[in-house]
Amino acid sequence: MAYQRMVKNPRLRFIVPLVGLVSVLLVAALYVRHPRTLSLIDLRIYDHLLRTNAANTPHPALAIVDIDEDSLRRLGQWPWPRHRIARLVDRLNQAGAVVVGLDILFAEPDRTSPQRILSDLETSFGPYLEETPSIQGVPDILRDNDQLLAQTLATGPYVLGYAFRFDAPAQATQTVSSVPSVGLVTRSLTPQLVMAPEKLLPTAREITPPLAILARAAPASGYFTTRTDPDGTVRRVPLLVRFNGKAYPSLALATLLQASDTQTVILNYSERGTESLAVAGTNIPLGTSANFLVNYRGPENTYPYVSAEAILRGSPEAFQAVNNKIVFVGTSAAGLKDIRTTPFSQNFPGVETHATIVDNILSQDFIRIPPWAPGLEMLALLGCGLLTVVLLAKARAAWLLPPLLGLGVGIWYGADHLFAEYHYFVSPFYPLLCLVLTFTAMTIVKFWREERQKQFIEGAFSHYLAPAVIQRIVKNPNTLTLDGEEREVTILFSDIRNFTSLSEQLPPSQVSELLREYLTPMTRIITERDGTLDKFIGDAVMAFWNAPLNVPLHPQKALDAALTQLQILGKLNQQFEQNFGLRLEIGIGLHSGIVRVGNMGSADLFDYTLIGDNVNLASRLEGLTKYYGLPLLVSEEVAKACENYAAFWEIDRVRVKGRENPLTIYAPISQEDRVKRETELNRYAQAKQYYCNGRFAEAQEAFALLQRDHPDSRLYKILHKRCAELETACPRNWDGVYTHATK
């Protein structure tokens, strides 16, 4: 069958799995390329896993001293004089802080120093002053706040902060001799692999160092610059940066080194890049370019904050809060906030990021992206995609949606479990993307293929079935079964008279052309009146109404179709005479009755058709049209159903071959002909009355007169001859029914 050939067409059979495989390869290529948009989605998934599995318990060895609103209100606006900063850090030292990291940049001289004020006054107003400005009674140590702060920094465990720029033009002449670098030892984890530090560490292009006098005095310094991901979020922080050929530590790392009293770190690397950093016996996992993945504990204020004013005031509670702690000094005051965006908050203080890094190292609570994570992600991606391709190529999408949804949920919770239990981040994004994209693409293509197959069915079978049947099959293919139903239908049989002898006059090609030009308008007349074209039997046509869909007034529509066919045939015959040199005559039989209608045949081949005695009766009516010389005969059931639609002329009461019950047959007649032939019809009715009553001599005489007046009528000739035969050999128990011995 054409439909089966279409289904077995390799292009259509393999297009669904082919689209699935292309989808899998596309996602695999995207995974390798990591486009920006998809990377941002991947980062959002990481943020979600981090938030849902956050410890929310900070390390007890950490505290943050905050230059908050209360401190500024009590002690004056920022920037504070350096002598106050000196007093603050000295107080922290007195309170027992292990180390103090200053997340504050002191890049310029303090303008509030008495000596600086005198110098500014002399510069600005010297020509107008009669005496040189001076300050009396102030000790020399208090004349320069920067000198005072430097002396203080030299006496305690303090770490200054400074800033790097990574996007500025390189400044080859910039030197930072005052800022100490870190002792760096590199160690390859891959045999025979040697990489220079400049290939391992991010390179800064510009530095904003602390004031030289302060940087030389402080025991240590560290940069507080962080780098953001493409969405502006701080997730990774480089612990080491290379600048002018040296390695410099971050503020968090420098503070930790100061606390552990070591100045040397070991950087382990492989062909993938930096792997880990060994600090005081702790192995810190790193990503590429020495990036440390920060395991945030929660939103802002996760760590204990102590007001700077309370420390300066000497509050015992404040002192207790920083005693034996690693302390970071920062600010949360409005307008002074060092704000960062993190997975937890868009208002996260930068100082708390440094504290979190130290917390992670002290707790050895690291988030890792293991070396095998990319392989596992690719394997999960390909596994999900190929499994979807195999399953969806064999089953319906609706059936597979629950198990594939379960697979997606399993992948998600698998990634969540690895993160929660082992702090391994293995992204579920690309496997889920592959699952969704492959399922969607294959489902769309399957839908397109099914729609195309439906269109094929509709196009192919439109030459054989009525549109109503086609639409029913397309809408519900399950109707293609062998089951049927009992329905009342009106059946039409039509046949070309003497077609065999006519076809002998023409070559086969012209016979086919003649049939096509005849059958095309005949079948259109049927389907335009909601009829179902059942089949062609040579030059004969079988059609029916009221199946598979209900057709109101189906006997009238069938009768209208038959009358229209006869009318159109008159016009067609003019063309047939010109093109083929002949005219066609047809006979049509119509009958209404109960039949079984449905898909009849074998399990492999079947037709939507009718079976039953009433089908045979309609066929017999068509056969009788030639006997009576009339183009159209209908049964009594059709005549009664159409009595308000047309007039009918009772032709005969007969028994057809193969059926015992008698049948009254009629021929439709227009109202115009009925009026015009009123005398003839009355005479015919009287003759029929003689005939039915067994008065054959009188009936024979009446039919003879009708035959004389209407010599072209085959009906009168037949009935006249029949009466003559019955007069000599009338059967017993005559009931007015004539039995036809042949079809």
Quick: pLDDT tens for 383-410: 999 998 888 888 777 787 888 899 999 9
Q: Quote the mean pLDDT of the chain.
A: 87
- Are the C-beta atoms of residues 188 and 121 closer than 8 Å to each other? no
| pLDDT tens-place string over residues 556-610 | 999 999 999 999 999 999 999 999 989 999 999 999 999 999 877 776 677 778 9
Q: Nearest-CA neighbor of 60 among 300, 327, 258?
A: 327
CA distance 134 to 473: 107
Q: For the segment 528-543, what is each residue's pLDDT rounded down to a tens digit?
A: 998 988 888 888 999 9
Burial class (CB in 10 A: 0-12, 13-18, 19+), 172: exposed
Return the percentage of the chain with pLDDT > 90, whole number. 60
Look at strands 326-331 and 99-102 and give their pairing: parallel
pLDDT (average), residues 360-372: 94
pLDDT number for residue 457: 60
- pLDDT exceeds cutoff 50 at 5: no
* 554 or 116, which is more confident: 554
The percent of residues above 70 in pLDDT, for the chain, comes to 88
Tens digit of pLDDT for each residue in 17-34? Answer: 888 899 999 999 999 998
Give this prediction's pTM: 0.67
- Residue 234 above 70 pLDDT? yes
User: HSE of 76 in the Cβ direction (CA atoms, 13 Å)?
Assistant: 7
Spatial separation of the C-alpha atoms in residues 350 and 234, rounded to whole Å = 10
d(CA 316, CA 473): 89
Q: How far apart are CA 598 and CA 601, in angstroms?
A: 10
The more confident residue out of 416 and 70 is: 416
Condensed to tens digits (0 to 9), the pLDDT of residues 491-537 reads: 999 999 988 888 888 898 899 999 999 999 999 999 999 898 888 88
Phi, psi of 488 (to 5 degrees): -90, 125
- Asked if pLDDT for residue 137 goes beyond 80, the answer is no
Q: What is the pLDDT of residue 452?
A: 73
Q: Which helix (H) or strand (E) holds 516?
A: helix 508-528
pLDDT of residue 467: 65
Does the pLDDT of residue 464 top 60, yes or no?
A: no
**What integer is the mean pLDDT of 720-741?**
86
Query: Rounded mean pLDDT of 443-466?
Result: 68
Burial label for 170, CB within 10 Å (0-12, 13-18, 19+), is: exposed
Work out the average pLDDT over 223-245: 92
Q: How confident is the model at residue 8 (pLDDT cuts 50, 70, 90)?
A: very low
Q: Is the peptide bond before 477 cis (omega within 30 degrees of 0)?
A: no
- Mean pLDDT, residues 23-49: 94
Residue with tokens 């109707």: 479
The pLDDT value given to residue 635: 96
- Residue tagged 């039509």 (tokens): 494
Q: Kindly state the tokens that stand for 616.
A: 């045979």
Which of 89-98, 111-120, 429-438, 444-453 is predicted least confidently? 111-120
Q: How many other CB atoms are found less than 10 A from the CB of residue 624? A: 21
Backbone angles phi, psi at 485, to 5 degrees: -150, 155
Segment 601-642, tens digit of pLDDT: 776 677 778 999 999 999 999 999 999 999 999 999 999 999
Taking residues 468-490, report their average pLDDT. Answer: 69
Higher-pLDDT residue of 9 and 304 is: 304
Q: 3-state secondary structure string, 399-428?
A: HHHHHHHHHHHHHHHHHHHHHHHHCECCCC
Take residue 95 and report the two structure tokens written for it.
């309170």
Question: CATH for 475-670?
Answer: 3.30.70.1230
> Closest by alpha carbon to 408, among 375, 430, 379, 378?
430
Averaged pLDDT, 688-693 = 92
Burial (Cβ within 10 Å: 0-12, 13-18, ≥19) of residue 395: exposed
Region of 481 on the Ramachandran plot (φ > 0 left; ψ -120 to 50 alpha; else beta) = beta
Eight-class DSSP state of 601: E
d(CA 663, CA 660): 9
**More reliable by pLDDT, 111 or 717:** 717
Confidence class for position 128, pLDDT limits 50, 70, 90: low
Is pLDDT of 4 > 50?
Answer: no
Lowest mean pLDDT among 175-179, 186-190, 248-252: 175-179
pLDDT in tens, 195-204: 888 789 999 9
Strand order in the sheet with 183-188: 183-188, 264-270, 273-279, 282-285
* DSSP-assigned letters across all residues of 681-722: HHHHHHHHHHHHTT-HHHHHHHHHHHHHH-TT-HHHHHHHHH
CA distance 311 to 91: 7
Q: How confident is the model at residue 11 (pLDDT cuts 50, 70, 90)?
A: low
Say which DSSP state 77 is in: S
CB-based contacts of 473-479 (< 8 A; 24+ apart in sequence): 479/548, 479/599
Encode pLDDT of 638-669 as tens digits: 999 999 989 999 999 999 887 888 999 999 99
Measured between its terminal Cα atoms, the distance across the chain in Å is 34
Q: What is the pLDDT of residue 171?
A: 58
Give 335-355 pLDDT, tens digit per residue.
666 788 999 998 888 899 999
Q: For every residue of 271-332, which 3-state class applies, written as one string?
A: CCEEEEEEECCEEEECCHHHEEECCCCCCCCCCCEEEHHHHHHCCHHHHHHHCCCEEEEEEC
